[in-house]
C-alpha cells in the first residue's frame, strides 16, 4: 500500500521529506498542484501525479515557476486548496507575481513549498529564498524534521485560509531528499467545487474582484495579516524548546539544522548546558516567544543556512527589547562562528559549541586523521562530473567545440541550465563560457550579437535545452530576432527535462499524469519568430560539424536543433543500439596520429585506457552503445555493429 493512498491513520512509514510534504497536502485535501522541475523539489509533483490517479487532484508541470504560481493561485481564488513547489531559484522567477498575491490575498488555502539547496549540491547557486518572505510580507514556515514536514504542510493550508494569505514553507535538500519516520493521518474527501466569485464590492475578500488596488489600503491589510500571524505563532507547537530552563548556551535553529544541533548536543554530552529553540514559524517572529528565549541565556548561537536570516531578525528584536532582555552575546554567521557560505552539517555545529563552551572534542585522533588524509590524496582520485555514457550533449559539445575551433575566429558559446550546464567542464570540452539562470544563455548571446560595431566579429553561439526553451528562452529569442542580433541558437533537444528526472514539458506529448497532450514544436515557434531553423543529429559528427561551419558564415538569428534522445529516457534506457569494441591491432594509442584521442579527449566513461597493452578498451558494463566514439576514432579501430534486438 503506497503512503499516498493509505487511509489507515496512525500507520508509520519511512519516507522522504518531499513525500511527507505530499502526504501533508493530501491530508489537507489539496485540489491543485503545480510546479516546474527543480532539485530538490521535483518529487512533490511526481508523487502528487501518482495520487491524482485515485484522488480528484489536478497536477501540472507548468512551463515555469511564475506560471506555476499563477495556475495554483487561480485554484485558490476559486476556493480550492492549492500547492506550488519549486527550488530556490523558482521563487526568484515567481517573485513579481508573489508580490501581487501578497497584496491581493488568497481564498482557498495556498501553500508555496520552496526547497533550497545549501551547498549547491544540485544547483549553480546557493541562493537563500527566505528573504522573500520578509520582502514580500508573507508568512514563512520551516519544518524541522520529517514528521513536521507532513504536519506543517497540512496545517499551512488552514493558516493560509485564516490569514487569507499565501503561506511560504521552506525546505532544504537535507530534508526534502532525506528520509525519516512519519506517522500518517486521515485523508479527507475531495469533493470541493471550484467557484470564482468576483462580482461583489471591491475590497470584499470573498466576493470582490481579486486585485491589489487600492494599494495603500491593501498594504495596511497585509501588515495586519502579519500581526495576526505573530499572535498565532506565539502558540504554535512547531516552535519547540529542548533543554534546561536556563542553559549556558541557547541554540536558535530551524529546518535540517535542528537535527544537526541535536546531534551536536548529544556528541558533546552537553544536554545539561545547551538548550535548543527550534523555530518552525520563521517569519514573522513571535515576539513574546523570542523575548522569553532571549531571557533564558546570555549566549545565543544561531544555526541556520544559508544566510543569517533568523539571526538578523532576532537581533533586531533583541535591540528593540534590550531593556528587558539585557545584553546578549550572539554567535552565528555574522561573527564567523558559523561559516557564512556552504551547507551546514553536525560537525560545524559541534565545533561552534565546543568553542563556546570550552569543551575539547576531537572527532578523530590526529594520527588517524593524518593517515586517512594521506590515503585520500593518493588513493582516491576525484570523480569529476561527466555526461552519462550515450549522452547526446557529449556529442553536441564535441561538434560545437570543434566547429568553433576549426572556424578559428575565437567564437564562443553561452550556456544555460540543464544537464548540458556541465558543458563548461572537460566532459563538455570546456565549450560553455557563460552560465547563469534559466534562459540567460540566449539573452546574453543576444547582447553579444550586437557588439559588431565595437569590433566583436566572431561566431556567437548559445545552447539551450528543450525544457529551458519553453521556460524562459522564448522572450530572449524574440529579442535576438527583432534586434537583428547575430547569434546561433542551438536547441539541445533530448525530449525531456532530463537533469531533474526526465519530467515532461510543453514540447513533449505527455503530461505529469501520463496523459497525452498536444506537444508544441520548438521549430515552429522559432520559425514563426522569423529565425531560420535547421535540424542536425548530434550523433552524426560530420554532418553536424559541416552544418555548424556553414552557419558560422551566415548572419542573423539562426536556430539549429540538435535532436537526439537522452540516454536515460525510458525509450532508450538499457537498450544498446550498437555493440562497440576496439580492434587493438588497429588502435594507435599513444603514438603520433592519436595520442589517446578517445580516452584523453573524448572522455566517455565507457572507454578505458589499458596501459599495459597500450590500447583503448570498451567497458561493456558502462557503454550505452550509442556508437559515437566510432566516428571520432582517427584510425577506425573503434568498431560498431548493430546490436541484436
Partner 1 sequence: MKVLGSNELIAAVIDAGLCTGCGACVSLCPYLKSHDGKTALLFPCTRPEGRCFAYCPKVEVDLDEASLTVFGKPYTGEPLGHYIDIKAARAGHKMKKGNFQAGGTVSAIMTYALQKKILDAAVLTGRDGLRPVPRIVTSPASVAESASSNYSAAPTVSAFNQAMKEGYKRIGVVATPCQALALAQIRSNPMKEKNFTDPTALVAGIFCTWALDYRRFRKLLEGRVDLNAIIKMDIPPPPAEKMEIFTKNGTVEIPLPEVREQVPEGCGYCFDMTAEFADLSVGVHEGRTDSNTLIIRTERGADAVNGAVRDGYLEVSDLPKENREHLAAAAGNKKRRAMEKAAGEGLVNTGSGRCAAVRLSSITVQRGGR
Partner 2 sequence: MKNSGIGNDPFNVIITGVGGQGNVLASRMLGNILSDQGYFVTIGETFGVSQRGGSVMSHLRISGSSAWSPQIPRGQADIVVALEPIEAIRVMAYYGNERATVLSNTRPIYPVGVIAGEMEYPDPGSIREALGRLTGRVVLIDATDEAMKLGNPILGNVIMLGAVAATGLLPFDRDDFKTVIARSMPADRLEINLAAYDRGREMLLETT
Choose the binding region for partner 2 from 129-137, 208-216, 448-456, 601-609 (rule: CB under 8 A): 601-609
Among 195, 371, 406, 456, binds partner 1 (CB under 8 A): 406
Q: What is the closest distance, in whole angstroms, from the C-beta atom of residue 422 to partner 2 in the complex?
A: 7
Cα separation, 466 vs 313, whole angstroms:
41
Site for partner 2 in 245-274 (CB under 8 A): 256, 259-260, 262-264, 267
Among partner 1, partner 2, none, partner that 593 touches (CB below 5 to 8 angstroms by kind): partner 1
> According to CB under 8 A, which one of 55, 81, 87, 401 is a site residue for partner 1?
401
- For residue 10, the partner it binds in partner 1, partner 2, none, with Cβ less than 5 to 8 A by kind, is none
* Least spacing, CB of residue 147 vs partner 2, in Å: 8
Q: How many CB atoms lie within 10 A of CB 245?
A: 7
User: How many of the chain's residues bind partner 1 (CB under 8 A)?
Assistant: 18
Cα gap 389→83, rounded to integer Å: 37
Q: How many CA atoms lie within 13 A of 614 on its CB side?
A: 8
Q: What is the largest CA-CA distance in the chain?
A: 86
Encode 315-345 in three state secondary structure. HHHHHHCHHHHCCCEEECCCCCCCCCCCCCC
Q: Give the DSSP H or E segment for 274.
A: strand 274-278
d(CA 456, CA 464): 22
Binding residue for partner 1, selected from 360, 378, 380, 408, defined by CB under 8 A: 408
For the bound state, the minimum distance from the C-beta of residue 187 to partner 2, rounded and expressed in Å, comes to: 20
Question: Looking at 82, 281, 402, 503, which residue binds partner 1 (CB under 8 A)?
Answer: 402
What gap in Å lies between CA 336 and CA 327, rounded to an integer? 19
Interface with partner 2: number of residues (CB under 8 A): 66
Burial class of residue 275, CB neighbours in 10 A (0-12, 13-18, 19+): buried
Counting contacts by CB under 8 A, is residue 278 touching partner 2? Answer: no
Taking CB under 8 A as the binding criterion, the range among 99-107, 173-181, 455-463, 527-535 that sits at the site for partner 2 is 173-181
* Inter-residue contact 490 to 560 (CB < 8 Å): yes
376 is a site residue for partner 2 (CB under 8 A): yes
**CA–CA distance from 189 to each of 152, 184, 194, 238, 577 (Å)?**
20, 16, 15, 26, 48
First to last CA, the chain: 36
Q: How many CA atoms lie within 13 A of 474 on its CB side?
A: 18
The closest alpha carbon to 559, from 437, 628, 464, belongs to 464
Our measurement of the distance from residue 309's CA atom to the centroid of its chain's CA atoms, rounded to an integer in Å, reads 20
Q: Which of 214, 426, 530, 543 lies at the binding interface for partner 2 (CB under 8 A)?
A: 426
For the window 524-563, what string marks contact with partner 1 as x by the rule CB under 8 A? -------------------------x--------------
**Interacting span for partner 2 (CB under 8 A) from 274-282, 316-324, 507-515, 599-607:** 599-607
Asked if 597 interacts with partner 1 (CB under 8 A), we say yes
Min dist CB 32 to partner 1, Å, is 51
Contacts of 451 (CB under 8 A, 6+ apart): none
Residue 387: asked if its preceding bond is cis (omega within 30°), the reply is no
Q: Is residue 594 part of the contact set for partner 1 (CB under 8 A)?
A: yes
CB 484 within 8 A of CB 466: no
Q: Indicate the residue among 7 and 373 with the shorter CB distance to partner 2.
A: 373
Evaluate whether 158 touches 28 at the Cβ level (below 8 Å): yes
State yes or no: residue 562 binds partner 2 (CB under 8 A): no
Given the rule CB under 8 A, which of 15-23, 75-83, 389-397, 595-603 is the region that contacts partner 1? 595-603
405 belongs to the binding site for partner 1 (CB under 8 A): yes
User: Which cell numbers hold the place of 334?
Assistant: 555574522
Residue 354 interacts with which of partner 1, partner 2, none, CB < 5 to 8 Å by class? none
How many other CB atoms are there within 10 angstroms of residue 483's CB atom? Answer: 12
User: Residue 39 binds which one of partner 2, partner 1, none, with CB within 5 to 8 A depending on kind?
Assistant: partner 2
Q: Which is nearer to partner 2, 146 or 412 (CB)?
A: 146
CB of 362 to partner 2, least distance (A): 9
Of 272 and 634, CB closest to partner 1: 634
- Residue 595 makes contact with partner 1 by CB under 8 A: yes
Rg (CA), the chain: 28
Of residues 625-644, which lie at the interface with partner 1 (CB under 8 A)?
A: 632, 634
Which residue stretch of 183-191, 404-412, 499-507, 575-583 sits at the interface with partner 1 (rule: CB under 8 A)?
404-412
Q: Residue 559 and residue 11: Cα distance in Å, rounded?
A: 54
Q: How far is CA 513 from CA 22, 51, 88, 510, 625, in A?
A: 15, 9, 25, 8, 31
Q: How far is CA 349 from the centre of its chain?
A: 25
Name 335's Cβ contacts closer than 8 Å, sequence gap at least 6.
none
Residues whose CB is less than 8 angstroms from the CB of residue 611 and which lie 6 or more positions away in sequence, other chains included: none
User: Contact region for partner 1 (CB under 8 A) — 171-179, 282-290, 319-327, 400-408?
Assistant: 400-408
Residue 189 cell numbers, joined: 474527501
The residues pairing with 610 across neighbouring beta strands, listed in sequence order, are 615
CA pseudo-torsion sign 418, 420, 422, 424: negative
Q: Tell me which of partner 1, partner 2, none is bound by residue 608, counting a contact when its beta carbon lies within the kind-specific cut-off of 5 to 8 angstroms.
A: partner 2
Q: Which string of x and - marks every residue 489-508 that binds partner 2 (by CB under 8 A)?
A: ----------xx--------
Q: Using CB under 8 A, which of 213, 316, 375, 406 touches partner 2?
A: 375
Give the nearer residue to partner 1 in terms of CB position, either 225 or 401.
401
Q: How far is CA 549 from the centre of its chain?
A: 35
| Pairing state between β 110-116 and 140-141 | unpaired
Question: 541 is in the binding site of which of partner 1, partner 2, none (Cβ under 5 to 8 A by kind)?
Answer: none
Q: Which stretch binds partner 2 (CB under 8 A): 64-72, 176-184, 281-289, 398-406?
A: 176-184
Among 6, 324, 521, 590, binds partner 1 (CB under 8 A): 590
CB of 172 to partner 2, least distance (A): 10
- Which cell is 384 given? 569529476
- Closer CB to partner 2, residue 178 or residue 541? 178
**Parallel, antiparallel, or unpaired: how do β-strands 487-493 and 460-465 relate?**
parallel
Nearer to partner 1, 14 or 601 (CB): 601
Interface residues with partner 2 (CB under 8 A) are: 12-14, 39-40, 121-122, 145-147, 173-175, 177-181, 256, 259-260, 262-264, 267, 345-347, 350, 363-364, 368, 371-373, 375-376, 378-388, 419, 422, 426-427, 499-500, 596, 599-601, 603, 605, 607-609, 619, 621-622
Interface residues with partner 1 (CB under 8 A) are: 401-402, 405-408, 429, 549, 590, 592-595, 597, 600-601, 632, 634
Amino acid at each position: 500500500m503506497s503512503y499516498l493512498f493509505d487511509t489507515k491513520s496512525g500507520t508509520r512509514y519511512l519516507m522522504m521529506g518531499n513525500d511527507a510534504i505530499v502526504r501533508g497536502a493530501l491530508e489537507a485535501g489539496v485540489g491543485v498542484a503545480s510546479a516546474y522541475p527543480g532539485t530538490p523539489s521535483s518529487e512533490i509533483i511526481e508523487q502528487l501525479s501518482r495520487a491524482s490517479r485515485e484522488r480528484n487532484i489536478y497536477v501540472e508541470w507548468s512551463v515555469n515557476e511564475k506560471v506555476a504560481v499563477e495556475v495554483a493561485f487561480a485554484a485558490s481564488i476559486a476556493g480550492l486548496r492549492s500547492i506550488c513547489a519549486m527550488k530556490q531559484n523558482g521563487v526568484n522567477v515567481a517573485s513579481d507575481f508573489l508580490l501581487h498575491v501578497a497584496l491581493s490575498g488568497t481564498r482557498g488555502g495556498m501553500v508555496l513549498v520552496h526547497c533550497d539547496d545549501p551547498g549547491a549540491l544540485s544547483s549553480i547557486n546557493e541562493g537563500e529564498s527566505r528573504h522573500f518572505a520578509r520582502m514580500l510580507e508573507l508568512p514563512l514556515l520551516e519544518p524541522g524534521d520529517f514528521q513536521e514536514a507532513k504536519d506543517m504542510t497540512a496545517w499551512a493550508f488552514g493558516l493560509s485560509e485564516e490569514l487569507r494569505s499565501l503561506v511560504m514553507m521552506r525546505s532544504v535538500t537535507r530534508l526534502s531528499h532525506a528520509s525519516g519516520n512519519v506517522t500518517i493521518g486521515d485523508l479527507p474527501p475531495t469533493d470541493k467545487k471550484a467557484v470564482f466569485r468576483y462580482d461583489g464590492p471591491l475590497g470584499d475578500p470573498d466576493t470582490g474582484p481579486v486585485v491589489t488596488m487600492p494599494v495603500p489600503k491593501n498594504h495596511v491589510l497585509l501588515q495586519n495579516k502579519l500581526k495576526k500571524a505573530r499572535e498565532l505563532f506565539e502558540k504554535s507547537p512547531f516552535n519547540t524548546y529542548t533543554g534546561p530552563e536556563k542553559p549556558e548556551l541557547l541554540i536558535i535553529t530551524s529546518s535540517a539544522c535542528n537535527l544537526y544541533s541535536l546531534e551536536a548536543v548529544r556528541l558533546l554530552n552537553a544536554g545539561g548546558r545547551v538548550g535548543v529553540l527550534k523555530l518552525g514559524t520563521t517569519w514573522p517572529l513571535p515576539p513574546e516567544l523570542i523575548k522569553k528565549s532571549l531571557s533564558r541565556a546570555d549566549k545565543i548561537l544561531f544555526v541556520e543556512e544559508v544566510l543569517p536570516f533568523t539571526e538578523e531578525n532576532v537581533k533586531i528584536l533583541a535591540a528593540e527589547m534590550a531593556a528587558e532582555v539585557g545584553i546578549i552575546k550572539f554567535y552565528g554567521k555574522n561573527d564567523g562562528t558559523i561559516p557564512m557560505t556552504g551547507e551546514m552539517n553536525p560537525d560545524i555545529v559541534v565545533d561552534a559549541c565546543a568553542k563556546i563552551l570550552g569543551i575539547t572534542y576531537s572527532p578523530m585522533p590526529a594520527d588517524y586523521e593524518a593517515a586517512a588524509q594521506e590515503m585520500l590524496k593518493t588513493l582516491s582520485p576525484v570523480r569529476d562530473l561527466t555526461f552519462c555514457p550515450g549522452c547526446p550533449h557529449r556529442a553536441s559539445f564535441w561538434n560545437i567545440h570543434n566547429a568553433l575551433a576549426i572556424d578559428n575566429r575565437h567564437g564562443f558559446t553561452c550556456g544555460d541550465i540543464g544537464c548540458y550546464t556541465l558543458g563548461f567542464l572537460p566532459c563538455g570540452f570546456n565549450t560553455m563560457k557563460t552560465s547563469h539562470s534559466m534562459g540567460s544563455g540566449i539573452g546574453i548571446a543576444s547582447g553579444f550579437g550586437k557588439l559588431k560595431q565595437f569590433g566583436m566579429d566572431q561566431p556567437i553561439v548559445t545552447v539551450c535545452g528543450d525544457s529551458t526553451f519553453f521556460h524562459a528562452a522564448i522572450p530572449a529569442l524574440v529579442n535576438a530576432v527583432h534586434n537583428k542580433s547575430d547569434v546561433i541558437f542551438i536547441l539541445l533537444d533530448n525530449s525531456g527535462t532530463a537533469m531533474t528526472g526526465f519530467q515532461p514539458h510543453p514540447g513533449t506529448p505527455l503530461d505529469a499524469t501520463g496523459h497525452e497532450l498536444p506537444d508544441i514544436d520548438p521549430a515552429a515557434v522559432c520559425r514563426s519568430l522569423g529565425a531560420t531553423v535547421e535540424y542536425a543529429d548530434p550523433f552524426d559528427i560530420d554532418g553536424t560539424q559541416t552544418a555548424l561551419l556553414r552557419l558560422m558564415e551566415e548572419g542573423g538569428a539562426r536556430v539549429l536543433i540538435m535532436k537526439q534522445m537522452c540516454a536515460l529516457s525510458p525509450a532508450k534506457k538499457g537498450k544498446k543500439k550498437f555493440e562497440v569494441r576496439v580492434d587493438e591491432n588497429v588502435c594507435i594509442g599513444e603514438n603520433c596520429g592519436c595520442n589517446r584521442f578517445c580516452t584523453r579527449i573524448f572522455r566517455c566513461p565507457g572507454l578505458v585506457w589499458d596501459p599495459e597493452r597500450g590500447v583503448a578498451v570498451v567497458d561493456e558494463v558502462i557503454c550505452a552503445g550509442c556508437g559515437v566514439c566510432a566516428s571520432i576514432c582517427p584510425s577506425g579501430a573503434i568498431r560498431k555493429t548493430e546490436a541484436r534486438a
